[in-house]
Amino acid sequence: MPTRRELANAIRALSMDAVQKANSGHPGAPMGMADIAEVLWNDYMQHNPANPSWPDRDRFVMSNGHGSMLVYSLLHLSGYDLPMDEIKQFRQLHSKTPGHPEYGYTAGVETTTGPLGQGISNAVGMALAEKMMAAHFNQPGHDIVDHNTYAFLGDGCMMEGISHETCALAGTLGLGKLVAFWDDNGISIDGEVEGWFTDDTPARFEAYGWHVVRGVDGHDANAVKAAIEEARQNSDKPSLICCKTVIGFGSPNKCGKEECHGAALGDDEVALTRKELGWEHGPFEIPGDIYEGWSAKDKGAKAETEWKERFAAYKAAHPELAAEFERRIAGHLPADWSEKANAYIKQTIEKAEKVASRKASQNAIAGMAPAVPELLGGSADLAGSNLTMYGGSKGVTRDDAAGNYVFYGVREFGMAAIMNGIALHGGFIPYGGTFLIFSDYARNGIRMSALMKQRVMYVLTHDSIGLGEDGPTHQPIEQTPSLRLIPNLNVWRPCDAVETAVAWKAGIERTDGPSAFILSRQGLPHMERDGEQLANIARGGYVLKDCDGTPDLIFIATGSEIELAVQAADVLSGEGKKVRVVSMPCVELFDQQDPAYREAVLPKAVRARVAIEAGATTTWHKFTGLDGAVFGLDRFGESAPGGALLDYFGFKPENVAQVARDVMNG
């Protein structure tokens, strides 16, 4: 049987060989953390290479994702569907071994990491989801949800501010099944971190309420094992294991230096490292006994079989709960979901009330949440303004995780990353709220939702200068168009309560990416529609108000500016002009429609077009063309009541009508 060090050296060899072949990558972290990974994966990780999606598996997150060859080595060696040919294609086009681990590319990769700090934050979300699922489903004598979340992170993750946001919340919520390993090697890209990173990191995490194991020799398997045992015994706190390591361990000339952080070692140094490690095998060559020492196939199959037996007993004792668990883990909505959601939309139409879309959003949550028990709300300390809570909301606490609402505190970025982890874990559909202006803080987390195609919903309120007195620091100008630049993010800006309800239904039903709801503070009037118009809301854009024959002009608008477009259309109609008003609550969905539908809504023959939105004009030129105009705002706002600001910046029917006249007159 190979020694622990020999098993760990297989990681080092694969990592330096793959990086060398690609002439690109980060060999230092995998070589430095190999001993830690060997102990964790061989002695503690509960996983089954034959079924990477087994519900009660442990989750492993490589937050320092630049060290991706560590993950790929672990997956390959332990028996996942990641053959050596893929290891040899590290960082190449369409390989299963991209430069940073990507969710959906590689069996066994739990989340996309690379933007530092987000991986540990995803891990917080996974651990939170585990705790909540256990509270929702476990019954006396039946612990069907009982797994750990393990995360590796480096100095870069510690320096990123998001690690403070999320790890502080993890301590508050007592996520005792989260164990993080800090690779304390003292090196980042610019060199020795003591020049810019001198935090007392263990004390910082102790202050968060974590259990901290200090000063562990990351190259001593027995010390690592003892630290993990200690961490696992502290079930009421998350644990941080502080591992002192040497980056690039085994490299005679580059270990402990920034030279091995983000570059191949070089052929000569690779050869010297092989000799230093006693690894007498060629590139990408792994002896059979090493594979046998690493294989998790039998152990993993046994662990999953035992869980299935426990679940069968649970199902016999609690059949309804078991069926609900299976449905939620599969990501399926309840059988009667569509019927109930449509009934709520019908009620909204019948009410025909003037209401702020943030309030309409709250009403939609209250109307739809009872039909979707996996809906998990939250807000970054703005629940009373975002209106993300409703009568059925119950907060999740350290001592009671059976709720359906997370108080994230003033942690916009952390909220986004935690929600990604929750969605990746499975069992919940998370939504979280903040002001639209603060989506800038959360932006990279939102981007990662889109990149990983996760069903996460962002409630972004106070959507324009109409929010008023808080002034330009809080008045979004460029945020909505900038969110529309993120691929695979559906950005909804509804014009009334009906469009808001349809947006919520679409967001809940979407399984291939996130949705953002851009919502108003001010009241928006109900718009009358027929059945066809109602159905077409879900297509992202539709004709809300039409004229006889070919239009002389088309208004395109969203949100609160739909009322303005309708009023301006009435002015022009009184002058004998034929005007169409197109509501476009979701540009992304409209762009996905077939050419015939898009032509029916925006006929190419009608070149006189005016788009109206109280924000930056960038999005709309592709719809208006060179012959049209965009009525928006390409400067920062002012501090004054909302109505006064809208008047000051010219958002009046007559002003819009005049722009339209100018467009029609060429």
Annotated binding site for Mg(2+): 155, 185, 187
- Within 10 A of 528 (CB to CB), how many other CB atoms are there? 12
412 catalytic? Reply is: yes
The strand pair at 609-612 and 629-631 is best described as: parallel
Sign (positive/negative) of CA torsion 41, 43, 45, 48? positive
As to burial, measured by CB atoms within 10 angstroms (0-12 exposed, 13-18 middle, 19+ buried), residue 52 is: middle
For 178-236, strand residue ranges (E) read 178-184, 187-188, 191-192, 211-217
Calpha distance 261→61 (Å, rounded) = 19
- Within 10 A of 464 (CB to CB), how many other CB atoms are there? 31
Cβ–Cβ under 8 Å, residues 23 and 265: no
Calpha distance 640→394 (Å, rounded) = 36
Q: 211 - beta bridge partners?
A: 239
Calpha distance 456→451 (Å, rounded) = 12
Cβ–Cβ under 8 Å, residues 16 and 273: yes
Residues making up the binding site for thiamine diphosphate:
66, 114-116, 156, 185, 261, 438
As to burial, measured by CB atoms within 10 angstroms (0-12 exposed, 13-18 middle, 19+ buried), residue 247 is: buried
The helix (run of H) or strand (run of E) holding residue 406 is: strand 405-407
The letter for the amino acid at 124 is: V
Residues making up the binding site:
26, 66, 114-116, 155-156, 185, 187, 261, 358, 385, 438, 462, 470, 474, 521
User: Which one of 412, 561, 563, 613 is the catalytic residue?
Assistant: 412
- Nearest Cα residue to 632 out of 554, 564, 586, 539: 564
SS3 for 285?
coil
Cβ–Cβ under 8 Å, residues 98 and 68: yes
Torsions phi, psi for 421 (to 5 deg): -65, -40
Cβ–Cβ under 8 Å, residues 517 and 368: no
DSSP 8-state class, residue 649: T
SS3 for 543?
strand
Angle, CA of 47, 284 and 262, to the nearest 5°? 85
Catalytic residue set = 412
